[in-house]
Each structure stands twice: as structure tokens, then as C-alpha cells.
Homo-oligomer: A and B are copies of this chain.
Amino acid sequence: MQKIQVTIKDIAQALGISVSTVSRALQNHPRIGLRTKERVFETAQRLHYVPNPAAILLKKNRTATIGVVLPHLQEEFFSQAITGIEDVISAQQYNVVVSQSRDKLERENRAIKSFINSRVDGVIASISAETTQYYQFRELENYGIPVVFFDRVPKDVPVNRVRGNIADAAFEVIQFLAQKGIKKVAILNGPASLEVSDERLMGYWNAMKQFDLPIHQPFIKTTDLSKEDTLKKMLDLIDGPTMPEAVFCFNDYVAMYAMQACRQKGLVPNKDIVFVSFANLPITAYLDNPPLASVEQFAYQMGEEAAKLLLKIIQSPADSVLPPEEIVINTRLIVHS
């Protein structure tokens, strides 16, 4: 069987009215008679009419597609976020195309270029570990394509963003450790180019001060999030002048790599060195020694909020210039007893 196209023309013919009336009725135009609308809808149903997106898009000069670029689909944080995005976006009849930067700047740029070429109506982004400049995203603006960032947001630029209250959560994490009597707390942070790293550090710093814990410079490490670098930095911590009692990790993946480094040295994770981290991924449930505590970031909800904000911007009147908006998602410290 072939793709049989039922068009508004068919509906118009069947009802003996004009296509424009059908078109308007279908769009629930206020000035169309209730009776007429009813009949149009009924006939559309009967004929199995399905609007042709391409025609609408051509006419309206939109694509009803939004682009998403993020580091890795494999990370549960992001695959949950994308689910949130998709649920919101598809409820509004938009499509989502996803592109993975794999934490490489070059792949991120390629994705952005392709978004411009395919004329997406908007972009949702979480930047790569290598991204330090906002530059390439400005290009999207030049084409009038709005961008909303989530979680990993470029620094020092006013942009639309959805983020967790990282600093507060980081504070809570250290507080949790302090209350357990743990004093020597190191931080294995993400790249300095990410604002989310700064915020973790700030929360760490403030809490360490507040609870009178000593801040040694060698306790503060950053990793580029790769396995190699993370292992190396963790080994540095273990072999450093004083071995930390606890390590506060950028996220669960960093924590898991760090634990591996621990085992390499014959140490038992969460016994010899306590781990706490960010993300609270389902996979940690499979670990024999999960981090003692971690911050649930509500990835799905972040995705939802980012999508809602983007749609709001896309659907705002063309002339209205909205100031950059920031949405903060509350996180929660989960203690794995």
C-alpha cells in the first residue's frame, strides 16, 4: 500500500466548503462557526487526515525541531535529562535531535553548525569539558536561534540557564562529613572552565571554613573528567603529604574512578577513604561500596525545565526581547546508610 495523502482539500471537497475555512477550523480560529468546526473535525477524523508538517513548516518558516548538544548520552545524568526534554518537547509537537560532544570542543562546534544548517528553532546545551568560550554559541544568536543551557553553563556570560543549587548542596555534603567527625576532606573537582566546578569549590570552601576544617592546597584537585586524569589525580591525593579521610567528587563517575585508584593502592573505598559525590545515579545502586552520600540533581526535572524555558522563548512574540532567565533546581543530599 502506498502513502495516501489526505489533505485539507479533500476535507473541503467532502464538505463543499473552501480550504481556508477548513484550515481555520482545524486551527480553532475564533471566527469560524461552531457548527462548521464540528463538521470539519468529524470529517478529518473520518478521512484519517494527518496534517503535513513540511507544508506547515515551509509556510511558517519554522522547523519544529530543537537541537540538543550534551557531552554523553551514556551518562545517566544526561540520558535522564534528555528524557525530560523529550517529554516536554514532544508534547508540543516538536522534534528533538540530539548530538553528543563527547566532551570535545570540536564535536560541539560541529553540532552547532549542523543545527544552523538544519534551521532548528532552538538549542538546549550542556557544554563540553573543553569549552571555555561562549563564542560558538553566539553564532546561533546571529541566526536568531535561542539557546538554553542546563547544568554545564558557560561562565561569566548572561544566558538562559537551568542549574542546580550546587554551592548549597556542596556545603551540605561537607557538613555531613564534618558531623561524622571527618576533618581531612579533599575535593576532586571538574575543570575550572565549568561554572559548576566553581560552585562546588565555593560550597566546599565555605563549609570547610564554617566547620573549622583545614584547607590544604594539595587537597584541591581538578580532573578533566577522563578516566586517566581522574585516576592520576586520585593517586596524587593518596600519595600526597597527608592522605585525606574523605574525598568529595565532582560526580559519580569521578567517584567510581577514584575508588578504582583506591583499590589499586590496596585501600578499601568508604572504609579507608570515604567518598561523597554528585549525581546519585541509579548505577551506584549496583556498587558494593556506593558513595556514602551523594547529591541528587533531579536530571529529569532539569531537562523538563530547560525545555519549557526554551519553548517559552521560541513562542514569545518575535519582537519581544526577553532578558536571560535563570531557573534553579533544588537538589537533595542523599545519605546511603
A residues sitting closer than 8 Å to B (CB atoms) are 1-3, 5, 50, 52-55, 57-58, 61, 63, 65, 73-74, 76, 79-80, 82-83, 86, 90, 95-100, 114, 116-119, 141-145, 256, 259-260, 263, 282-283, 286-289
- Are A74 and B282 neighbours in the complex by a CB distance under 8 Å? yes
- Are B73 and A95 neighbours in the complex by a CB distance under 8 Å? no
**Which of the residues B53, B58, B282, B283 comes within 8 Å of A52, measured between beta carbons?**
B58
- B contact residues around A259 at 8 Å (CB): 286
The complex places the Cα of A57 from the Cα of B55 at a distance, in Å, of 8
- Are B95 and A97 neighbours in the complex by a CB distance under 8 Å? yes
**Which of the residues B58, B95, B143 comes within 8 Å of A65, measured between beta carbons?**
B95
Nearest-neighbour CB distance to chain B for A68, whole angstroms, equals: 11
Determine which residue in A3, A263, A289 has the highest number of CB atoms from chain B within 10 A of its CB, and name it. Answer: A3
Determine which residue in A73, A96, A99 has the highest number of CB atoms from chain B within 10 A of its CB, and name it. Answer: A73
- Are B283 and A1 neighbours in the complex by a CB distance under 8 Å? no
**Which of the residues B73, B80, B143, B286 comes within 8 Å of A82, measured between beta carbons?**
B73
- Are B144 and A50 neighbours in the complex by a CB distance under 8 Å? no
- Are A53 and B119 neighbours in the complex by a CB distance under 8 Å? yes
Nearest-neighbour CB distance to chain B for A289, whole angstroms, equals: 7
Nearest-neighbour CB distance to chain B for A207, whole angstroms, equals: 27
- Are B95 and A53 neighbours in the complex by a CB distance under 8 Å? no
- B contact residues around A90 at 8 Å (CB): 114
A-B contact pairs, 26 of them (CB 8 A): A1-B141, A1-B144, A3-B61, A50-B117, A52-B58, A52-B119, A54-B54, A54-B57, A54-B58, A54-B63, A65-B95, A73-B73, A73-B83, A79-B79, A83-B100, A86-B99, A95-B97, A96-B97, A96-B98, A98-B98, A256-B286, A259-B286, A260-B286, A283-B286, A287-B288, A288-B288
- Are A86 and B98 neighbours in the complex by a CB distance under 8 Å? yes
Known A95-B118, A287-B288; 4 more pairs at CB < 8 Å: A50-B117, A54-B57, A55-B58, A73-B83
Nearest-neighbour CB distance to chain B for A5, whole angstroms, equals: 7
The complex places the Cα of A83 from the Cα of B137 at a distance, in Å, of 23
Nearest-neighbour CB distance to chain B for A267, whole angstroms, equals: 13
Nearest-neighbour CB distance to chain B for A179, whole angstroms, equals: 27
The complex places the Cα of A287 from the Cα of B289 at a distance, in Å, of 9
Nearest-neighbour CB distance to chain B for A62, whole angstroms, equals: 8
- B contact residues around A83 at 8 Å (CB): 73, 100
Chain B residue nearest to A3 in the complex (CB): B144
Chain B residue nearest to A76 in the complex (CB): B74
The complex places the Cα of A63 from the Cα of B97 at a distance, in Å, of 14
- B contact residues around A100 at 8 Å (CB): 83
Nearest-neighbour CB distance to chain B for A213, whole angstroms, equals: 29
- B contact residues around A97 at 8 Å (CB): 95-97
**Which of the residues B63, B98, B288 comes within 8 Å of A53, measured between beta carbons?**
B63
**Which of the residues B2, B74, B116 comes within 8 Å of A80, measured between beta carbons?**
B74
- B contact residues around A116 at 8 Å (CB): 50
**Which of the residues B2, B54, B79, B143 comes within 8 Å of A74, measured between beta carbons?**
B79
- B contact residues around A99 at 8 Å (CB): 86
